[in-house]
A and B are shown apart, each in its own frame.
Chain A
Amino acid sequence: MNWASKWEVFWQTLSGEFYRNLFFEGLLNTIKIAVIGLIIGIVIGTIIAVVKVMPKYKALPRVLDKICEVYVALFRGTPMVVQLLVAYYVLLPALGVKGVEAVKVGVIVFGMNSGAYVSEIMRSGINSVDKGQMEAGRALGLGYAVTMLKIVIPQAVKNILPTLGNEFITLIKETSVLSFITVYDLYTALGAIGSKNYDKVMPYLFMAAIYIVLVLIITFMIKGLEKVMAKSDRKKAGI
């Protein structure tokens, strides 16, 4: 079979209702898990980062700091696949939880995993903001948390936007292991087509192409977002 006919066969199979639906469900799951995972990751990461940079006079911040340290070590020290497997096949049964959709487990594990990485990114972002910003807020009588939320974190996010974009791209790519816990991902449909047609070339090249397109779209969106966020560096607001 030459390339053209291989493509022909692959495309025909993919166009069929069953595989088409399977493919789009996989694509949707990939995007859903990466996007929601990133959002959860940003929330968890920001909380950990704030705990890390908080003044540690009192006992509570010190205890929280230790907890966060363990959390980060745990999630950075193991591969995502292992985290997914442990969550789905070890933790859920051990806790006696039944009937949780694999997609939900995927979202939560992706979110928690991402939180560990985002916390480091966010911490460097917070540290990159001039100390004077926090001082000015505190001098006006605003509390630590309020100043953090309204002044420091928005500026930190702006500084780390490119790095956060990379984290999003990493998450998108890591979705390729979701089938380990029975989530329908891009591999589910394309791998099945490969087995059916005895041709793995086209499905896997197609899979690579889909990931590249997704990553390019994200890169493009991040660039756009950076431009919008950079407006506070420009001459006038809103122009």
Chain B
Amino acid sequence: MNSENQPLISVKNLTKKFDDTTVLENISIDIYKGEKVVVIGPSGSGKSTFLRCLNCMEDPSGGSIIFDGVDIADMKVDINKHREHIGMVFQQFNLFNNKTIIRNITLAPVYFGIKRLRAAKCKNFFTKIENIFKKNKKPLIEINTTEKQIKEEADKKAMALLHRIGLEDKANVYPSTLSGGQKQRVAIVRALAMNPKVMLFDEPTSALDPEMVGEVLDLIKELANEGMTMVIVTHEMGFAREIATRVLFMADKGIAEQGTPEEIFEHPQNPRTIQFLNAVL
């Protein structure tokens, strides 16, 4: 199913209503592996809502979100299984306040690692019981790890990620002692620790003091250069231009215009886009 030229995320006729107000109407868009899609638009145009629909943090009111060949907007799918592969970075960082930096990063990988290990052990247990009564024995699931190993590996990986952002010495402190820029960089590597196939950023630098914006944008650019697929909502137009492979301009409950950074920033067609860019540039 998953050939190279199939989109990683395929949004089909996405509609989102809050009670009776329609915020997004009939949006369709394909996002391919390796793309860096930047979403811009006026405040209240539904950029965050659109982004949050991509991992169903907001449940779409209509339409479908095909991720990895599965419609995750379908309420019957186990959304948690798919969210593992979709990293999300918030404006307010949202590091877990009751966990040290390293535990922030290892919490989810360790949880899923151990959950899978236990599920496998449980399955093997029943297979063994079945095998007692059977002539042709069913094979067991091969288990080549322990809970201790899972934790150690997660720690090692977390330390490598912290090394990458130069914050190894902060491994055992709590988030409240970090600067905004440091928090956001930790939040990014926390998402990376799950090996996501795509990363969603919702105004990752909007809550930062100006002198810290650079360090966060640099990290995102690094990830972009390594080939990470990204969808980024931002008000940083310079950054958008530099990093985007495609720019979406959102207005009037939908994508009013989209194109390459050159097309959107140099030759915008839609009067709404022109008006918006004139106001912000």
Contacts and interface: CB of A to CB of B under 8 A. Distances in A.
Contacts of B86: 139
Contact of A237 (B57, B93, B174): B174
Given A232-B176, A233-B174, A236-B177, A138 B83 contact: yes
Interface in B226-243: none
Interface string A121-139: 0000000001011011111
A124 B192 CA distance: 33
Interface residues of A, number: 26
Interface in B89-135: 90, 92-100, 107-108, 111-112
B90 A132 contact: yes
Contacts of A233: 174, 176
A142 interface: yes
Chain B CB within 10 A, most for which of A137, A150, A154, A232: A232
B84 interface: yes
A233 B187 CA distance: 18
A142 B97 contact: no
Contacts of B112: 141
Interface in A154-188: 154-155, 158
A110 B94 CA distance: 38
B194 interface: yes
B174 A150 contact: no
B189 interface: no
A133 B174 contact: no
A234 B174 contact: yes
Contacts of B98: 151, 154-155, 158, 232
A143 interface: yes
Nearest to A233: B176
B146 interface: no
Contacts of B55: 139
A142 to B, nearest CB: 6
A141 B95 CA distance: 15
B176 A136 contact: no
Interface in A222-239: 231-238
Contacts of B194: 140-141
Contact of A235 (B81, B173, B187): B173
B249 to A, nearest CB: 25
A146 interface: yes
Contacts of B107: 140, 142, 150
Interface of A: 130, 132-133, 135-143, 146, 150-151, 154-155, 158, 231-238
7 contacts: A130-B97, A132-B94, A138-B80, A141-B83, A141-B84, A141-B194, A238-B172
